[in-house]
Structure 1
Amino acid sequence: MEPIKVQSEGGLNVTLTIRLLMHGKEVGSIIGKKGETVKKMREESTARINISEGNCPERIVTITGPTDAIFKAFAMIAYKFEEDIVNSMSNSQATSKPPVTLRLVVPASQCGSLIGKGGSKIKEMRESTGAQVQVAGDMLPNSTERAVTISGAPDAIIQCVKQICVVMLESPPKGATIPYRPKPASAPVIFSGAPTYTIQGQYAIPHPDLTKLHQLAMQQTPFTSLGQTTPAFPGVDASSQASTHELTIPNDLIGCIIGRQGTKINEIRQMSGAQIKIANAMEGSSERQITITGTPANISLAQYLINARFRDVAAMWTDPSTMTTS
């Protein structure tokens, strides 16, 4: 295939569809009151922006149009997320602005081209745009797609998306793609003795009273943090100084973080760039301590990947046919 000809401002004279994976709160921000925000994005970018239906913790946002229109839509989304971050910091003591994060959903057959030989392409994208780019090692459940996470300042994210579009156009997907479809919201319970844990969104949380499920449905409570030197939620301090974050996780759930022969924890270490240590089980204790060390960006990504493992466990719990040996 001939290389795609890039026009001025990085525009491409083609039509493209890009899929984004967003959480409910992010989708609400994009839609806005009475749909005003997404209406404005559609009008100003001229791109088609569709949001998947359903009561799901995750939603797919599909952006279709000429690539210049897609880049405008991405810019508006990235700046809207930055605005949300600034607003959320108004009650915080944090002084540095955290990065904006977007998750693309990309056919697995194209991910090799995004990474490049020996990681050369993804390294080039990181260095030339200043954005952090991570390609998930595993496919999303019941699909042949992977998540590609982009973090950074809005301008860096936009430049990175442009480069990703070029790669995707030069290396179209091979074979049929099974698209990722988020599962409907549910609150599966893992019975692990006392206490019982329920999966909510990305997190597994203590669940002492089954009658309160509906109250928990809107919560996003992380595991208990000990001696925390970075905030519990990703990106509240975007400085590059190394720091440490500690989590406690029930013994019964530690296996899905470690994986068979340590495959999952090693994957999380590699993708996040953080050092992750799991303390040995203490006699008489029902919990294990996880220590994450690295820059706040590394720690945030490690936390996200750890929590994503529990989301995957929840999917397996609700649909045993999806269960694979981890």
Structure 2
Amino acid sequence: MSGRLYLGNLAPQTTAADLEALFEEHSLPLRYSPLVRKGFAFVDCQDNDTALRALHLFSGKVKLHGVVLYLEHSVQRRLRLRKIQVWNIPSSIRWEELTNKLSQYGTVIKCEKVDFENDVALVVNVTYATKDEAARALGSINSDTEEGQDEMAHFIASYIPDDAPLEQGDEKRSNRLRQLRTLERKEISICPLRLLVPSKLLGALIGKEGATIRAITKETQTRIDIARQDSNILNDKAMTIRSTLEGCTKACRQILQLLRKEAEKTGLGDVDLKMLVHNSFVGHLIGKAGRNLKAVEEESGAKVVISRRHDVSLYLPERTFIVEGDVNESCCAVSLLHKHIRDISEQNAEAASMECCLLPGLNLTMSGIFPCPQDFNFARRVQHPETVRLQIPAQAVGALIGRKGRHIQQLARFSGAVIRIAPVSEEDAEERTVVIVGPPEAQFKAQGIIFRKMKEESFFLPREEVNLQVSIDIPAEAAGRVIGRGGRTVGELQNLTNAEVLVPRDQIPDEQGNIIVNIKGHFFASQMAQRKILEMLAQLRYCWNVPRLRRQREQRDEGAEREQREQREQREQSEQ
């Protein structure tokens, strides 16, 4: 054992200095400073004997800030198997009596005394036959300590590391559980079920303080996310259900039953089940001459109607499947469709990436935004990290960050860019700044997902383009080249990209000698304008470097000629 102890039941105001002083007061040296967390801490004693003395002196006997401390060995969960350590045993107890008491909880395979410099109490290590018997013994000994029953009230027990292999049955069971958890996580991560819920019925679905939706997620073992939506034009809100196929089907059934029950109370009429499906799956679900869809309708007894193709846009690449029928028929149809989507996802991972795929089928080279990779000179000049500041609505910050920062972390991982939210400059600011640092392709992915997120969360109207302002830094000396004579260059740039490009006048360069260029437009217009401006800067840097390189070459040639002349003069002098 390493001598590390776990301290529980700590008062909130406990600090590392308090624990150090406590151990120093009892002459218990520590190797490192205690690691204190809210309500517990970890302490590294100098050796195992020091840890045993601390357990004997402190556990259940010493108060810190008015709270009794609880100590035990710090053991990893995977090593908490069949071995426990029992201390605080009176030295007057006979060995046969001790082994009999410990055998009450199971078969004791081994019971050995630990060398401990204490004449009053004993410490023993006990190995039970199975993991369950060790857990039962540990719980019983510590509960008897709290209740104060007979001689066992003196005993205190804790797990110690057990490196011995599990029994064959336990090992097979643990391996099977590990495999099932891996498969379940893999299944949950594949294609969540997305539904459309009427906005008027959303309050009943969520319940008071989220009680109803929390009960559904707990019963069906699912995770349900509801998209934010500030626009009053759309009548539905998107809901994402993540779980296994069976879990999604159970949650869908409960949600549909609740919605139809609430619709009858409020007089809204029948509520059909609406399923959102990525456009890349629609052809597979319909099948040749509609065979797959007809098979789903025949097996479930429900009728499935698909929204029109031209409703799909760059920012909303999903189509709506309206399922008409009773609860059982509708849920059966949704389950069959969802199963088909998952099967397609496993066969073709590229077609399945609904959340990670930025723009399906887009070729960045053919779009003209990025040049052909064979252009080595361009790649050498441009493929360095760029810093872009993107302005988004202040209300959208929470949606972009996600719960506990999950969405922005996934965005950074997928795009390969560094993304952070700049601090608020004004209290009532209507916009916030997102700082994105990364090479051009990382910028393209990160900005594209942010543009799409603004549309999905309905911070823009359904038929409205997402126009966000992007700011980039350019050298103050290059401002004239970007603007051009009489604004000709920036005018041509706006006509070519359909973006609004503004170089504010009378700017004071920052410490690095840069000024700001603001670009506003939809995603493709903004990307094209950024690429054109940065390509222009790369050409300027190359042109600025040519005279410097020419001067360096001339100086190098002059130095070589001077050196040759000196060598020639030295040879002539030596010959004379």
- Rg (Cα) greater in structure: 2
TM range (shorter): 0.3 to 0.5
- Higher percent of residues as helix: 2
TM-score (norm. length: structure 1): 0.47
Q: Point out which structure has higher relative CO (alpha carbons under 8 A, 6+ apart).
A: 1
